[in-house]
Amino acid sequence: MKTKLMLAAAAAAILTAGVAMAAAPAYVTAAVADKGRPEADVKRDADRKPAETLAFAGVKPGMTVVELIPGGGYFTRILSKAVGPKGVVYAVYPPPRPSTDPAKPTPTPAAETIAADAAYGNVKPVKSSPAAFSVPTPADIVWTSQNYHDLHNVPNLDMMSFNKAVYAALKPGGEYLVLDHRANPGDPGVTKTLHRIDPAVVKQEVTAAGFKFEGESDLLKNAADDHSKAVFDPSLRGHTDQFILKFRKPK
């Protein structure tokens, strides 16, 4: 019995690795090769592995994808090209903090700048605080990259309510993808100090909202990161140990 269990576990591990490392479809590699992407983004591809990440997520042409808190838009342009002209990318970003310095006006959010570019006409910016999260139409995928830990730092945000709002935003069978910096188990305080989170915490919170855990990718694993430093530490920035979790809304 023990031998059978070990073999089953090994087979599952091989299957997971195979999914994570499967060759990206041509439309994904074309999206990553898009000449409209900023050079600074392209230089980060070796570390962020965008083609493999989209392949693991199962992004397809014609999909509606919600990118939650897109930041500088690294994935926004790639997702836009991957879903194509029949797809939609809702780039959901929180209202920016107004500048208190007249000489330094509040910068335009990247979601708005990208959406204003005709080359990314399927990107629809949605200004929404996490507490009021919603999208105009049901989505195939809700995607958040390196942001979930920060949701724990939003004052008075109830994570159960937030994840249920994500659940409501998805079509039956829709997917919730969470990519973030890994923390050591048992220390929730590092969401603010180190900007990391234990993937077990993410699994517990998301499945408690009704999602089914579907798989994990080690694409962005870095064994040299012992999780003791902040993700902005110069020795680690851009090379942290990260996890990618995939959840599914039951049909």
- Range scoring the smallest mean pLDDT among 53-67, 148-162, 175-189: 175-189
Please report, as a single letter, which amino acid is at residue 80: S
pLDDT given at position 16:
45
In which band, very low, low, confident or very high, does the pLDDT at 174 lie, cut at 50, 70 and 90? very high
pLDDT given at position 188:
72
What average pLDDT does the segment 42-64 reach?
Answer: 97
pLDDT given at position 13:
44
In which band, very low, low, confident or very high, does the pLDDT at 4 lie, cut at 50, 70 and 90? very low
Assess contact for 205 and 247: CB atoms under 8 A: no
- Whether residue 19 is predicted with pLDDT greater than 60 in this model: the reply is no
Burial class (CB in 10 A: 0-12, 13-18, 19+), 39: exposed
DSSP-derived secondary structure for the chain: -HHHHHHHHHHHHHHHHHHHHSPPPHHHHHHHT-TTS-HHHHTTHHHH-HHHHHHHHT--TT-EEEEES-TT-HHHHHHHHHH-TT-EEEEEEPPPPPPS-TTSPPPPPHHHHHHTSGGGTTEEEEE--GGG---SS-EEEEEEES-HHHHTTSTT--HHHHHHHHHHHEEEEEEEEEEEEB--TT-TTHHHHTS-B-HHHHHHHHHHTT-EEEEEE-TT--TT--S-S-TT-TTTTT---EEEEEEE---
Residue of 38 and 189 predicted with greater confidence: 38
- Whether residue 203 is predicted with pLDDT greater than 60 in this model: the reply is yes
- Whether residue 60 is predicted with pLDDT greater than 90 in this model: the reply is yes
pLDDT given at position 197:
97
- Domains along the chain with CATH numbers: 2-248 (3.40.50.150)
